[in-house]
Amino acid sequence: MENREIARILHETAELLEIDGAIIGRYRSYEKAAELIYSIPERIEELAKDRKKLTELPGIGDNMAEHIDEILKTGDYGLRKKLLKKYPATLLDVLSLQGLGPKKAAFLWKNFKAGTVEDVAKLAREQKLRDVPGFGEKTEENILRAVEFFKKSTGRFRINAAEATAEQVAAYIQTLGKQIASVTPAGSLRRGKETIGDLDFIVIPAGKYSQKSVDAIFEHILKYPPIEEVLAHGENKISFLLPNGMQVDVRVIPPESYGAALLYFTGSKEHNVALRGRANAMGYTLNEYALTTLKSGKTVAGKTEAEIYAKLDLPYIEPELREMTGEIEAAEAGKLPKLITLDDIRGDLQMHTTASDGKNSIEEMAEAARDLGYEYIALTDHSKAVTVANGLDEKRTLAQIKKIRAAEKSVGGIRLLASSEVDILKNGALDLSDEVLAQLDLVVVSIHSYMNLERAAMTERILAALENPYTQILAHPTGRLVLRRDPYDYDMERVFDACRERGVAVECNAYPDRLDLRDAHLRLAKQRGVKVVISTDAHSTSQLQVMKYGVQTARRGWLEARDVINTLPYEKFLAALRAKPGSTKKDRSASRARSQSG
């Protein structure tokens, strides 16, 4: 069982308990355990084999360890089930509405019998809540916005979850061995979208293609143990549902149609429609089997995507660009970007260590990054305002700088930038004194509190942070959490213009729950001439691997290596950063080089 699933059960128990009016300490302990389990890299299922290891985790006592055991054994939790007899399961959806909270949800349930998202939306639409104490017109608006978000996000999965499931399914299909020539994921996963509705696979049988070879593959797939339900079983298509609610569509295709099928099932639908229109205008038909002439039905291409694009007089268009946001025009004009790749990345500029809320030491992070082939990294523990993450005050920051300098010598083979993820306070001031900021090699700033400020106030707050001459990178600039939290509201164009004028870079945070900036915003940043960095925000060595999601998102934002400054070698990267007060760019990299060697 995945940590995520255990955390969800505990979290739902906490919310149901709060609805039930439990004493505060009780639901808090479930909530705290859920948060911990969601965030740690170790697998709870492994730890639970040794009770002592489980209870060594902060906030997990003997009782909670019992509950976790029960969840691992039964896949559910008795108290949660009991509460769900008392309240409808749809109340969990209501509880997941942003900003509603268990108190208000409980109130609506008790007083209006509103047990579904639609019930709650109806109350807000019919303006039945504006005169209710504790609610009001503003709450009605917020509820309606939250309902929209809920509808958009249900039934979708974050890319890392989709990718993990896709790898398992593909590996299973491959176990049929030499009867399979290839298994290729298509759909939104191949386009690198941040959320995935369902998984699409193209399977090519080895040897001669026949209904018999297709049926043999389906027979094998139907034996995949996790399958909950088979949704469709056609001649060359099968669809099934997995226990996590993910749907999988598999098509078995003859090898000569591989390119046409891959093109078709990669999408997007809009891109396909445009290609088909183009094909028709050129005297062809395009479907999932081939590109053929309209007149005689003769196949002109189908084996690869590239040959189909070529016959349509277009260069190959990368899957991440196939969203009908100008890629066909750019392709016609020979102006497609040469998209950045993971190999282009030479450094990672946001990560946490045990000094704040990370799981590994400076040395461990540095060694892991060096093993990934990076030339430099920035160690960016939180600053003091982020108390939940054990943020560092000025004194601890200075000590941390010393440790980072020492680690650079002891680890070797990688440059370590002494940095901090400095919190932007409510008024836009930075959470560390200028004297300490001056000591850092790199100043990354970001928001972790007061995320609901009005648009004007939020804009001013961020602009104020950019005014600070030490600010060099604006991290996770919108604060959104994929499928969980909307971005904060501010004037992004003004902020980007200020970034360009000051030379501040914006971050694409590669962590799959964030992916912030997202694709469209990255494209806007590029158009506005703003420098970009891609960083992982890793809280453990294994999380350094999430860089690929950031790169994929940057590709969806049309970025090239030259748009992203952590593709630069060390010295050039330093020179591309905003210059610190009192130093020309040249001085700075020279003095930094001196302090390294001396």
Residues lying near Zn ion in the complex (CB under 5 A): 352, 357, 389
Output 102 or 187, the one with its CB closest to ligand DGT.
187
Output 31 or 200, the one with its CB closest to ligand DGT.
200
Nearest approach, Cβ of 199 to Ca ion (angstroms)?
6
Nearest approach, Cβ of 8 to ligand DGT (angstroms)?
21
- Rounded to 5°, the CA angle 574-575-578 comes to 85
Output 190 or 476, the one with its CB closest to ligand DGT.
190
Nearest approach, Cβ of 275 to ligand DGT (angstroms)?
9
Are 351 and 381 in contact, with CB atoms under 8 Å apart? no
Which listed option, Zn ion, ligand DGT, Ca ion, none, makes contact with residue 268 (CB within 5 to 8 Å by class)? ligand DGT
Other Cβ atoms closer than 10 A to 426 = 13
Chain position carrying tokens 């030259």: 562
Which listed option, Zn ion, ligand DGT, Ca ion, none, makes contact with residue 272 (CB within 5 to 8 Å by class)? ligand DGT
Contact residue for Ca ion among 187, 205, 479, 557 (CB under 5 A): 187
Query: 287: closest CA among 319, 322, 257?
Result: 257
Interface contacts to ligand DGT, rule CB under 6 A: 187-188, 193, 196-198, 200, 264-265, 267-269, 272-273
Measure CA 511 to chain center: 5
Which listed option, Ca ion, Zn ion, ligand DGT, none, makes contact with residue 267 (CB within 5 to 8 Å by class)? ligand DGT
Nearest approach, Cβ of 157 to ligand DGT (angstroms)?
9
Length of the chain: 598
Which listed option, Ca ion, Zn ion, ligand DGT, none, makes contact with residue 422 (CB within 5 to 8 Å by class)? none
Are 567 and 534 in contact, with CB atoms under 8 Å apart? no
Which listed option, Zn ion, Ca ion, ligand DGT, none, makes contact with residue 393 (CB within 5 to 8 Å by class)? none
Which listed option, ligand DGT, Zn ion, Ca ion, none, makes contact with residue 273 (CB within 5 to 8 Å by class)? ligand DGT
Rounded to whole angstroms, the Cα distance separating 283 from 159 reads 38
Nearest approach, Cβ of 197 to Ca ion (angstroms)?
5
Contact residue for Ca ion among 198, 323, 421, 519 (CB under 5 A): 198
Contact residue for Ca ion among 249, 408, 516, 519 (CB under 5 A): 249
Output 187 or 254, the one with its CB closest to Ca ion.
187
Q: How many CA atoms lie within 13 A of 485 on its CB side?
A: 16
| 3-state class (DSSP) for residue 249 | strand
Output 187 or 192, the one with its CB closest to Ca ion.
187
Ramachandran angles phi, psi of 28, nearest 5°:
-55, -40
| 3-state class (DSSP) for residue 38 | helix
Output 353 or 472, the one with its CB closest to Zn ion.
353
Which listed option, ligand DGT, Zn ion, Ca ion, none, makes contact with residue 129 (CB within 5 to 8 Å by class)? none
Query: What is the helix, strand, coil percentage profile of the chain, to 5?
Result: 50, 15, 35
Nearest approach, Cβ of 271 to ligand DGT (angstroms)?
8
Contact residue for Ca ion among 15, 31, 140, 200 (CB under 5 A): 200
Rounded to whole angstroms, the Cα distance separating 197 from 188 reads 8
DSSP structure class, residue 297:
-
Nearest approach, Cβ of 157 to Ca ion (angstroms)?
10
Rounded to whole angstroms, the Cα distance separating 164 from 161 reads 5
Output 119 or 357, the one with its CB closest to Zn ion.
357
Nearest approach, Cβ of 352 to Zn ion (angstroms)?
5
Residue closest to ligand DGT, measured at CB: 267
Output 21 or 245, the one with its CB closest to ligand DGT.
245
Are 545 and 583 in contact, with CB atoms under 8 Å apart? no
Chain position carrying tokens 């990934």: 372
- Rounded to 5°, the CA angle 389-404-416 comes to 105
Rounded to whole angstroms, the Cα distance separating 57 from 64 reads 11
Nearest approach, Cβ of 551 to ligand DGT (angstroms)?
19
Output 166 or 533, the one with its CB closest to Zn ion.
533
Find all residues with CB under 8 Å of 530, minimum gap 6, and list them: 496, 499, 500, 504, 505, 506
Max Cα-Cα span within the chain = 79
Nearest approach, Cβ of 473 to ligand DGT (angstroms)?
31
Nearest approach, Cβ of 506 to Ca ion (angstroms)?
30
At 540, the amino acid letter reads: S
Output 265 or 558, the one with its CB closest to ligand DGT.
265
Output 160 or 567, the one with its CB closest to Zn ion.
160
Output 152 or 562, the one with its CB closest to ligand DGT.
152
Which listed option, Zn ion, ligand DGT, Ca ion, none, makes contact with residue 265 (CB within 5 to 8 Å by class)? ligand DGT
Strands (E), 159-298: 180-185, 195-196, 198-205, 229-233, 237-241, 247-252, 284-286, 291-293
Nearest approach, Cβ of 195 to ligand DGT (angstroms)?
7
Tell me which stretch binds Ca ion (CB under 5 A): 69-77, 83-91, 159-167, 194-202: 194-202
Long-range Cβ pairs for the range 211-218 (8 Å, 24+)? 211/235, 213/179, 213/252, 214/252, 216/176, 216/179, 217/173, 217/176, 217/179, 217/180, 217/252, 218/252
Query: 356: closest CA among 395, 387, 328, 331?
Result: 387
Output 149 or 264, the one with its CB closest to ligand DGT.
264
DSSP structure class, residue 340:
-
Is 516 one of the binding residues for Ca ion (CB under 5 A)?
Answer: no
Nearest approach, Cβ of 322 to ligand DGT (angstroms)?
8
Binding site for Ca ion (CB under 5 A): 187-188, 198, 200, 249
